[in-house]
Amino acid sequence: MAGNNRRIRPQILHKSSFFKLIFSALTCKENLPSKGSRGEYLVVLQFLLLAAFIVIPVWPDLGETAFFGDSSLVRWPVLALFWATALALGGFGSHRIREFLTPLPYPVDHNRLVTTGIYGLVRHPLYSSQLFAAFGWAVFALSLSHLFLFIIAFLFFNYKASKEEAWLTLRHPEYREYAMKVKKFIPWLY
């Protein structure tokens, strides 16, 4: 019986030490990032902006006016162009960084700097895709309410991208040179 206790006792001590280590790691503030330190709140705000864009009514509602009907020959191609651009930016952008993709602006530990493909045209194609889609809808619907939300989204993504770029520059010092060559959201413009 004493032999059995000797075998069990080290396992109990081991488990107890393991739980003490986990508890101390969880309660020690310097071991854990603070809430929002990797951009979690920015992701929540991004989803709230998306939800607002979906549920906000078109204002002014010009759907029954002659101008709305007459302008459809222009509005449909604009929508198609902007949404095709959004799909290309989002699709190629997410495919290119699929191993490092995260909703957080803080880069994952195993990331590497990608500067080729779509990332050779814009630094933030995933943010750009959302902006192109939103602007395309605002123009198509002739909606000032959606245009207003687009402007807020542009300012938001500009801020979020700047936070992300600061973290990327810390991890990849060559990011600064890349940022001077490649535009942020719109190829060759901005």
User: Are residues 144 and 163 located together in one domain of the fold?
Assistant: yes
The answer as to whether 187 is a domain residue is: no
Q: How do residues 131-142 score in pLDDT, each as one tens digit? A: 999 999 999 999
pTM of the model: 0.80
Task: Average the pLDDT over 27-41 and give the result.
Answer: 65
Indicate the number of domains in the chain.
Answer: 2
The answer as to whether 102 is a domain residue is: yes
The answer as to whether 190 is a domain residue is: no
Q: In angstroms, rounded to a whole number, what is the distance separating the alpha carbons of residues 12 and 127? A: 51
User: Are residues 107 and 154 located together in one domain of the fold?
Assistant: yes
Query: What pairs with residue 183 in β-bridges?
Result: 122
- Of 131, 106, 111, 96, nearest to 43 by C-alpha is 106
Print the domain residue range for 52.
35-181
Prior bond to 187 cis, omega within 30? no
User: Are residues 95 and 21 located together in one domain of the fold?
Assistant: no
Q: What is the pLDDT of residue 35?
A: 67
User: Are residues 40 and 26 located together in one domain of the fold?
Assistant: no
Given a cut of 50, whether residue 24 has pLDDT beyond it is: no
Of the pLDDT bands very low, low, confident and very high (cuts 50, 70, 90), residue 54 is very high
User: Are residues 66 and 94 located together in one domain of the fold?
Assistant: yes
User: Are residues 25 and 46 located together in one domain of the fold?
Assistant: no
Cβ–Cβ under 8 Å, residues 97 and 114: yes
The answer as to whether 188 is a domain residue is: no
Query: What pairs with residue 122 in β-bridges?
Result: 183
Q: What would the 3-class secondary structure string for the chain be? A: CHHHHHHHHHHHHHHHHHHHHHHHHHHCHHHCCCCCCCCHHHHHHHHHHHHHHHHCCCCCCCCCCHHHHHCHHHHHHHHHHHHHHHHHHHHHHHHHCCCCCCCCCCCCCCCCCCCCHHHHCECCHHHHHHHHHHHHHHHHHCCHHHHHHHHHHHHHHHHHHHHHHHHHHHHCCCHHHHHHHCECCCCCCC
In angstroms, what CA-CA distances link 114 with 78, 91, 94? 30, 15, 11
The pLDDT mean for the chain works out to: 87
Task: Average the pLDDT over 85-113 and give the result.
Answer: 94
Output the CA angle 173-92-117, nearest 5 degrees.
50
Given a cut of 90, whether residue 46 has pLDDT beyond it is: yes
Highest mean pLDDT among 3-12, 104-113, 122-131: 122-131
User: Are residues 69 and 159 located together in one domain of the fold?
Assistant: yes
Q: How do residues 66-78 score in pLDDT, each as one tens digit? A: 999 999 999 999 9
